[in-house]
Chains A and B, each alone.
Chain A
Amino acid sequence: MVQTKKQKYLFLAFCLVPTFILFAIFTLYPLFSGLYFSFFSWSGSAAAREFIGIDNYIRLFNDGIIPRTILHDYFLVITKVFGIMVLAMYFAVAIMQMKIKEAPFYRIIFFFPNIMSVVVIGILWTFIYNPSMGLINSGLEAVGLEQLARPWLGSETWALPAIVLPSIWAGIGLFMLMLMGGIGTISKSYYEAAELDGANEWQQFWKVTVPLLWPQIKVAVLYIVITTLNGSFIIVQIMTGGGPNNSTHVMGSYLYQQAFQQYNFGYGATIGVMILVLSLLTVFLLQKLMKREKVQY
């Protein structure tokens, strides 16, 4: 049966319009209202607000804490991308290639943190880092390394690196599964051919696994970058609240502090615009940097 043009358009509209309406309500509207509020002086807790033009943006450029929050965010982005990708790749390859009997068990164990809420992870690691009764300091003392014990989250120097560890721990499982899926699609014959050609396991990894896994690696890196820029504030908020002395504030947690604790909602919206612009720029640059020809053997 041939569809008329009208029927075809009706069907397309039936599929697209509800999605577009939902997208407009839940994505476009908040996006544009955020942009709109960034031009107002508004406490965010009352109806009254005053249009102040670009004053919030001027304030943004003169705010000494902003560069620190950007630095902290990108520190988390870089350490998380490397930490998660290296470990997820290592575990994925190990489980898939080494044919260990307990593979399904390890898969569950590594994926376990992903089913836990970030809030629970944050609280759990706060206990682990507790200076007097935490696992880390007690462990260091037990093995005679008490000189290395320190108030991890309470130190301006160590608090941010201390947040990286749970972020990586919580992220490995999902990307390990993603990479395992990718490895599963690579035909064994490529490895056999490479072995016949005299390639060792290390060469097989770089010449066969990585190029054929590149689409998954690219998606994983982009996903880590975006979720870190937009979502790292949850773990920061739970574990340190941005302190001590702003040493762990990321853009998101500083936005939260300004908008909801200092009653500068308009300025908070301006920080939100900055996060959007920086996220877009970063993703655009990464897309360029990670662009490769699709490999087929």
Chain B
Amino acid sequence: MNRSFKRSFTVACSTGLMLSALAACGGNGENAGADNEAENNASGGNNTAEENNGNNAEGNSNGEGNGEVAGELEIQYFVGGYGDSWWQEVISDFEAEYPDVTVTHHAGPNINDEMRSRWVSDDPPDVVYIDGAGSSETQMVEDGQLMDLTDWLSEVETADGEQLEDSFIVDPATYDGQIHSLPLVFDTWGTWYNAAQFEAEGYEVPTDFDSYMSTMGEIQDNEGIAPFVTTGQHPYYFLRGVLTPAFGAAGGDELLADIVTGEEGVWEREEVVAQMEKVAEMQEAGYIDDGFGAFNHTQSQMNFLLGDNAFIPVGFWLPNEMAEDTPEDFEYGFIPSPMQDEGEPYAIVPDLRPLAIAENADNPDAAKAFVEFVFTQEYATLFSEHTGAIMNLEGVDLSENENVPDYLIEANAMINDPDQVQIYHRPHPMSADLETPIGDSLTALMLGTITVEEFIEDAEAATADYRGE
């Protein structure tokens, strides 16, 4: 008995050691990620320093005569998939242009949580870029934290001499007709695939839902994988990346508006039910990775890059976010999520990341000067070069720019071709109170534990709750 006990202890020990080793691996992985991020920043920083030298000289010569804008300017910006090198450069140029202004950066991946106490105590920063976890434009407007920019916007001109309100690709969100934020980043969700693999294997890039299903079927047969993956921990990736454009294609701006405002009976409409049936069809065919329920966004993206899956719905930031983990032979391909019926153009619903000025800003003049300063062709081009995404400003020509990745040039050309892509709009983002319960039921539908009818019941109950009934 003693011997068998000792043996079981040996087994327990070796298991323990193995787990410890794994823990160490996990730890290293984390560190590696952090190092990569640091490296990223460092390389961004180098760029910034070099390019700044040129801009600073220019800035100083222009800087005179702007002395009225002075003092401390606090800027809060979230650093996520797009990195912070663009911000560093813009702010540095702004300081050169306005030498009497000292900019304080409040930046980082958790900055929204870190700055929360400042907003709660009515001592907010002057300018805020609203993006990332822990931030909500709708909530900030409801709480009266953002300055009404309606009148100011009608007068302001950009440094390029254009009327700013006429220069946006997508107009600012309105709340009861008032403008509280200016859309800075033209984000859009879509579906990514490995273009190199598709070319090598001869897979057809989907152009509508039917061809999407047939390509997924072919990949499932050939590769023996579930072709589609997304994050189940954040179901809004699927909601914003796949369903929202699907609803845009099926019912236009009107349907999108009814969905985000929680209109009674909207989920029971024929065109909505038809889209949900498409999701159920993907699940029943076994095209959705059955492990997606527990994946966070990084895990799902890693699986996609490792070839465990072939399609993933993410925004434009994916290549930048995963730059350090992308295999060498991997080539990013982007299409708007192909949920539309045959013969219809792809649908895109821009997801805008805005810049706003705090209602209680200490230095509103400097804040306005900064917002004016940012919306120029120069910084819009730089934005695409630094982040691989698009700034929400018209007339930026990326087609000849060597510093912009190929997928962005192709996607940009596609988005600007109305025969290929139709752009739809929603009045404002969906509130977390509505998005969360709908997202939960959506996960269940995609896992196959509830039916389309049950999903619709849940979604209707969520909209009723949201309307306060």
Which residue of A94, A106, A130, A243 contacts B443 across the interface (Cβ within 8 Å)?
A243
Docked-complex contact A245 and B444, CB < 8 angstroms? yes
Complex-state Cα separation, A106 to B308, whole angstroms: 39
Interface of chain B residues 260 through 306 with chain A (CB within 8 A): 289-296, 299, 303
Docked-complex contact A43 and B293, CB < 8 angstroms? no
Docked-complex contact B136 and A245, CB < 8 angstroms? no
Docked-complex contact B6 and A100, CB < 8 angstroms? yes
A residues near B38, Cβ cutoff 8 Å: none
Interface readout for B434-469 with A: 1 if CB under 8 Å, 0 if not? Answer: 001000110110010100000000000000000000
Instruction: Say if the beta carbon of A27 comes within 8 Å of chain B.
Output: no
* Stretch with Cβ within 8 A of B (4 or more), from A12-20, A71-79, A152-160, A223-231: A152-160
Docked-complex contact A153 and B433, CB < 8 angstroms? no
Interface of chain A residues 139 through 190 with chain B (CB within 8 A): 151-156, 159, 169
Number of A-B contacts (CB under 8 A): 136
What total of chain B residues lie within 8 Å of the partner, measured CB to CB? 54
Docked-complex contact A257 and B233, CB < 8 angstroms? no
A residues near B447, Cβ cutoff 8 Å: 154-156, 244-245
Interface readout for A244-274 with B: 1 if CB under 8 Å, 0 if not? Answer: 1110000000000100111110000000000
* Stretch with Cβ within 8 A of B (4 or more), from A45-53, A202-210, A289-297: A45-53
What total of chain A residues lie within 8 Å of the partner, measured CB to CB? 49
Docked-complex contact B9 and A123, CB < 8 angstroms? no
Which residue of B5, B20, B142, B444 contacts A156 across the interface (Cβ within 8 Å)?
B444
Interface of chain A residues 34 through 63 with chain B (CB within 8 A): 43-48
Most buried by A among B133, B144, B233: B233
Instruction: Say if the beta carbon of B381 comes within 8 Å of chain A.
Output: no
Provided the pairs A47-B121, A240-B233, A244-B293 are in contact, do residues A128 and B22 lie with their beta carbons within 8 angstroms?
yes
Instruction: Say if the beta carbon of B119 comes within 8 Å of chain A.
Output: yes
CB distance from A7 to the nearest CB of B (A): 44
Which residue of B9, B294, B303, B436 contacts A262 across the interface (Cβ within 8 Å)?
B436
Complex-state Cα separation, A152 to B232, whole angstroms: 13
Beyond contacts A112-B16, A243-B232, A263-B433: 19 other A-B pairs, Cβ-Cβ < 8 A, are: A43-B139, A43-B142, A43-B143, A44-B120, A45-B119, A46-B140, A47-B120, A47-B122, A94-B5, A98-B2, A116-B23, A131-B290, A169-B19, A241-B233, A243-B294, A243-B443, A245-B447, A260-B134, A262-B433
What are 9 A-B pairs at a CB distance below 8 A? A124-B22, A132-B308, A154-B294, A241-B234, A244-B293, A244-B294, A245-B441, A262-B433, A262-B436
